[in-house]
Amino acid sequence: MVWILLSVLSAVLLGIYDIFKKISLTRNAVLPVLFLSTLINALLFTPVLYTAYFTNIPHHHPIFQFNTLTTSDHLLFALKSVIVGSSWTLAYYAMKYLPITIVSPIRSSGPLWTLLGAVVVFGEQLSFWQWIGLTVTLVFYYLFSLSGQKEGISFRKNRWVIFMTLSTLIGSVSSLYDKFLVAHYNRLAMQAWYHVYMVPLMLLLLMFIWYPTRYRYKKFQWRWSIPLISLCLTLGDFIYFWALSYSDSLIAIVSTIRRGSVIVSFSLGAMLFKEKNVLQKGLILLGILAGIAIIVLSTD
């Protein structure tokens, strides 16, 4: 089945995306890396916007029909940019200072928080298997926190663990917001415009937070891994939506496979950055992913 292969490819690209982030951020200034990767993301969507607004293609392909968007629609996309920008800023700082074998399991918990958010916001009821998945995930998270203590990382006190956890929580808010946006708007329009609106947001952070205090921190260094962050993310998302476009594709399966991206980033990161307690953290990660898989596969 082609859509399964596409899902696997998307997961691999997203795992490599994390590796390029870690390479770009190590001993480097965070906000310039974030701004440049955001800018390149927006530039990659330039052909999409040109096609939508300056060619006749939208008359034949509804996916490019953006010209009916109103000002209020654009404001909703801008809000998406604020949510995603907040999540990315926290994640980039955490990625710089934490081992990737700590970051990956925390990031993999997104569906857990999305599920809890759906219960609180939309009043959804958990099924028996969702409760099982929730319990399995939380048990392995507790074991993971104990593993982190062996490296001197307190999950309750470490600033960067808190940043990564907050990033994951905000990412879950973004997923819930996507549920609303996708039901009402063109998915490609949403992707293109929220990447565009991220640029001025990140520019403000760069100008008012990093630039005035740049001499206190690591000097920014250009690395060719920075554009590869954007390329892997854009291709990974494009292939993910391509997989979902197949009539026989199952979103629960696609989403579960996509979560496997953390296995890629965990494995490559452990080898490239020579991190500690890899076997123990790897087994715990598999336990977390098992709980997440139960949650996702038992969700209609």
Helices (H), 206-275: 225-244, 251-259, 261-273
Provide the pLDDT for residue 285: 83
Cβ atoms of 100 and 81 closer than 8 Å: no
Provide the pLDDT for residue 299: 64
Full domain range(s) for residue 277: 2-297
Distance in angstroms (rounded) separating the CA atoms of residues 257 and 255: 6
Provide the pLDDT for residue 252: 64
| Count of Cβ atoms closer than 10 Å to residue 170 Cβ | 21
Number of domains in the chain: 1
Mean pLDDT by 10 residues, the chain (300 residues): 85 93 94 96 91 76 74 94 96 93 81 74 77 84 76 81 92 82 82 93 94 86 96 88 77 74 85 81 85 75
Cβ atoms of 21 and 88 closer than 8 Å: no
Provide the pLDDT for residue 117: 74
Single-letter residue type at 232: C
Provide the pLDDT for residue 206: 94
Distance in angstroms (rounded) separating the CA atoms of residues 92 and 100: 11
Cβ atoms of 67 and 56 closer than 8 Å: no
Provide the pLDDT for residue 300: 57
Distance in angstroms (rounded) separating the CA atoms of residues 101 and 282: 8
DSSP 218: P
